[in-house]
Structure 1
Amino acid sequence: MGLRERKKEQTRRTIEDAAFRLFAERGFQATTVADIAAAADIAPRTFFGYFPSKEDVVFCDFDATFDSLAGALRERAEGVTTFDALRTWIFEMFSEGGDGALDPHQEIRQRLVRENESLASHESHLLGRVEELIRAAVAADLGDEDHDLRPRLVAAAALAALKAIQPLDPAEKHAKPFGDEGVAQLDEAFAFLDGGIAALQERRAGARTS
């Protein structure tokens, strides 16, 4: 990374840190872009050079995480299923030492989403993009088009399963690396999803031979 890129990355992190500090102190609605810019010692127009909106600051790591997941699904070896690749990616990202396990803003982000309908809606939109990504990968596994019913069903179930294994206490979500219980829950979720795919494949194979 060159000097210019390092400076841009430093400015981005400064904006993020300033924003989350203000969000924690004042709340999301009471914090303006001008407030964030002043706290980060930049002009408001500079803020918009890095983030389109306040909502995008709250989910500042989403694009990098999304691109990482897309790469993991796209580059999986032949014979590696969507959920094999997803499981490996999750542990690389969120187990101890992974980028996702080191997110310093996650607890504040979760609180903000609970308290603000606009942020909850924005999060749902972002999760929809993840579901679309999984749907395309599952379609490739099944030999379907990604708009077909089977990959849509499996992708929706996958997102529901991933939400279901999150801690009941929102403050604990992603706050620490996976423990033994988290590993077991993740394995159960993916066993369920892989089993569903296998059942769909068997059903189609049976229909072809009948």
Structure 2
Amino acid sequence: MISGKRPGLRERTRRAVRAELAELAMGLFAERGYAATTVEDIAAAAGLSKRSFFRYFPSKEDVVFGDAGDVAGRVAAAVRERPAGEAPWACLRAVLREWQGPIHDARRGVAALRLIEATPVLRARLHREREELLGQVAAALRERPGAALDAFTADLLTAAA
């Protein structure tokens, strides 16, 4: 199970505000373009100050990518928690099967993917996010008890999975 504990009211409220900000931002990006939309524009559309915006997102880019970085760390932790005797490929298949939904939910859909493809800074960020996920999962695969994988093999298995 990915997480059996339900977040508290404060965390649920925070997630709701983040989701609303992201939705507003995506609408503004579609209407005006990513580069022409400022953090101030997004905050104003949500009825927040610029400072309040930064309580929810560290940067404008993070509005597009949401919790992708958090998901990477949690997927890596799930790899580390798998049984020690489990083969690396079986481990990856089990974890990725369990995490398939949350990994895809971390993306923002077709509109976000189109925006990312059309915006060089976001395209570069997507590549960094993917590399970070692959790196964290490959490292977790090597760190499992009894794992005798070299870095190349762990990277190759992770990329293939």
Q: Please classify the TM superposition score into its range, dividing by the shorter chain length.
A: 0.7 to 0.9
**Counterpart for residue 130 of structure 1:** 133
Correspondent of 1:32 among 28, 38, 41: 38
Instruction: Identify the residue that residue 70 of structure 2 maps to in structure 1.
Output: 64
- Equivalent of 2:121 in 118, 121, 134: 118
Q: Which moved more, 1:3-12 or 1:71-80?
A: 3-12
1:157 CA drift (Å): 6.1
| 1:165-194 C-alpha deviation (Å, 9 max, x unpaired) | xxxxxxxxxxxxxxxxxxxxxxxxx5xxxx
TM-score (norm 1): 0.63
The letter for the 1-side match of 2:47 is D
The answer to whether the 8 A contact 1:138-1:155 is kept is no
Q: CA deviation at 1:48?
A: 0.7
- Structure-2 change in CA distance of 1:35 and 1:71 (3 Å): same
Distance 1:31-1:156 versus aligned 2 partners, 3 A rule: farther
Per-residue deviation, 1:102: 4.7
Q: CA RMSD in A?
A: 2.4
Determine the C-alpha separation between the residues in 1 that align with 2:141 and 2:16.
Answer: 37
In structure 2, the residue matched to 1:143 is 148
Shift in CA distance, 154/2, structure 1 to aligned 2, threshold 3 Å: closer
User: Which consecutive residues of structure 2, in runs of 5 or more, have no partner in the other structure?
Assistant: 1-6
Unmatched 5+ residue regions in structure 1? 145-149, 162-189, 191-210
- 1:152 aligned partner: 152
CA contact (8 A) 2:142 2:148 kept: yes
TM-score (norm 2): 0.79
Pick closer, same or farther for the CA change 1:47–1:156 going to 2, 3 Å. Answer: farther
Q: Is the 8 A contact 1:20 1:105 kept in 2?
A: no
Q: Which amino acid aligns with 2:148?
A: G
Deviation of residue 104 (structure 1)?
7.3
- Aligned-pair identity (%): 35
The structure with higher relative contact order (CA 8 Å, sep 6+) is: 2
Q: Please, which of 4, 7, 11 is the counterpart of residue 10 of structure 2? A: 4
Match of 2:80 among 74, 78, 89: 74
Larger radius of gyration: 1
